[in-house]
Amino acid sequence: MTNPVPQTDAVFLKHFVQLIAFLVLVCVMLIALGAHIYSGHPSPENPARAEVAKQRLAPIGAVYAGDTGRAAIEAAAAAAKAAAASQVAYGGTTDGKTIFGNLCHACHETGAGGAPMLSNKAAWGPRLAQGEETLIKHAIEGYTGLEGMMPAKGGNPALTDEQVKATVDWMIAQVK
């Protein structure tokens, strides 16, 4: 029986197998070297790890009863009120011009959504006839009518009622 692989091909295959074996050996050595170096320098631990675990394991709610419970509920309500006060729109300013320039101008200078334009005093006549309290109520609670619509607090729920009132007062002064 004769060898179907010529001598030159056999030499090539022998050298190719030796090259592959050498590359595999180099790869294994590099992996071992990397593992040795990494074992000497472990990754740093997250300093907030304990706090993160504490937050994950904290109870979602609590049950309060009696005077202790009432005090805890009142304290939580006061904390929520303080947190809400810190997130008042436009830094809590009651300058109607500032609030108008940041929010209301988008509709009341273009007439978007049927809003009366601040420059069109004739469009404000029927609205002013309803009274300032009605205008303030519509600005705070929102209004949808035949002539247009007004989103509650101009679409910014972070506005306080005092800020809305100040802005409506400023707008009324501009159209009179």
Q: Where are the domains of the chain?
A: 89-175
Q: Indicate the range of 30-34, 56-60, 77-81 predicted with least confidence.
A: 77-81
Q: What's the mean per-residue pLDDT of the chain?
A: 87
**What are the backbone angles phi and psi of residue 95, rounded to the nearest 5°?**
-85, 110
Q: Which residues, 6 or more positions from 167, have their beta carbon under 8 angstroms from its beta carbon?
A: 96, 99, 100, 104, 139, 154
The band of 44, judged by pLDDT with boundaries at 50, 70 and 90, is: confident
pLDDT given at position 85? 65
How buried is 95 (Cβ within 10 angstroms: 0-12 exposed, 13-18 middle, 19+ buried)? Answer: middle
Fold of 89-175: Cytochrome Bc1 Complex; Chain D, domain 2 (1.10.760)
Q: Is the pLDDT of residue 4 over 90?
A: no
Phi-psi region of 123 (alpha: psi -120 to 50; beta: other; left: phi over 0): alpha
Element spanning 82, H or E: helix 66-85
Q: Indicate the range of 24-38, 78-92, 152-166 predicted with least confidence.
A: 78-92
C-alpha to C-alpha distances, 1 to 4, 9, 10, 16, 92, nearest whole angstrom: 9, 18, 17, 26, 99
Q: Are 122 and 114 in contact (CB under 8 A)?
A: no
Q: Is the dihedral of CA 11, 12, 13, 18 positive or negative?
A: positive
pTM for the whole thing? 0.53
Q: Are 135 and 127 in contact (CB under 8 A)?
A: yes
The band of 80, judged by pLDDT with boundaries at 50, 70 and 90, is: confident
The band of 70, judged by pLDDT with boundaries at 50, 70 and 90, is: confident
Q: Are 105 and 155 in contact (CB under 8 A)?
A: no
Q: Spell 137-174 as b/e; 16+ CB within 10 A means b.
A: ebbbeebeeeeeebeebbebeebbeebbbbbbebbbee
DSSP, collapsed to helix, strand or coil, labels residue 149 as: strand
Of residues 45 and 167, more confidence is placed in 167
Q: Which of 160, 140, 158, 159 is nearest to 150 (CA)?
A: 140
